[in-house]
Amino acid sequence: MIEIIPAIDMIEGKCVRLTQGDYATRKVYNEDPLEVAKAFEDAGIRRLHVVDLDGAKAGHIVNYRVLEKLAGHTSLIIDFGGGLKQTKDVEIAFDCGAQMVTGGSIAVKDPETFTAWIARFGSERIILGADAKDRRIAISGWEEATDAELLPFIQKYREQGIEKVICTDISRDGMLEGPAVDLYQEILEAVPEIYLIASGGVSSIADIEKLAEANVPAVIFGKALYEGRITLKELERFV
């Protein structure tokens, strides 16, 4: 059964969504992320993906107080990302209640620090963020393209102990045009032992079913929920 992981992306403490990572497209869906998280919890969902978009832009953790509130007032298992560039940022995230953190830009720009996190905090608590555009890694809130190719990037960190990878196809994120199933199948064939978390493009329950049929272990989505294309009632059979 595919694991269902709704997303809460935050700017200025509010629940927002972007289209293709463009901050100019931000749309506020709820002023109170805790209200959203409690609705997920009430529907039987156990996991939550939280992204600090302010942090991603600033290069350090920003919305940690909201994380603290989400962790303190729900029993959701939270993974947190966005702006985690220094070890103290990771420590703050864990101190504020995150059970896992996601590192993307840091894994490209400072691999020594990222691998040190794996060794210090444990591979079960560190997730590799592999955000891709045209099969190359993009970083810094997707505002910066790199020459790093997606599959070798994932394979390298698998050799360093990484177990979980969130892969977002940026071209599909927020577009509600369907997930990159072929890309995820390719990753699973190349690195079958990875716990792959698909992200980007999910527009309907049918998209989640396609990912499940492709044996993708988990899926992150947000906009489809906030736009009413997927209801919490529809997700009951997955949770």
Alpha carbons 94 and 88: distance in angstroms, whole number: 10
Record the pTM. Answer: 0.93
Q: What is the pLDDT of residues 108-160, one digit of tens each?
A: 999 999 999 999 999 999 999 998 888 888 876 555 677 889 999 999 999 99
**Of residues 9, 52, 79, 207, which has the active-site annotation?**
9
Confidence of residue 29 (pLDDT cuts 50, 70, 90): very high
Query: For residue 173, is pLDDT > 90?
Result: no
Are 232 and 41 a contacting pair, CB within 8 Å? no
Residues 6+ apart with CB under 8 A from 154: 128, 130, 162, 165, 167, 187, 190, 191, 194
**Of residues 52, 54, 79, 131, which has the active-site annotation?**
131
Task: Determine whether domain 3-238 maps to CATH 3.20.20.70.
Answer: yes
Residue 131 known to be catalytic:
yes
Residue 79 known to be catalytic:
no
Alpha carbons 187 and 23: distance in angstroms, whole number: 28
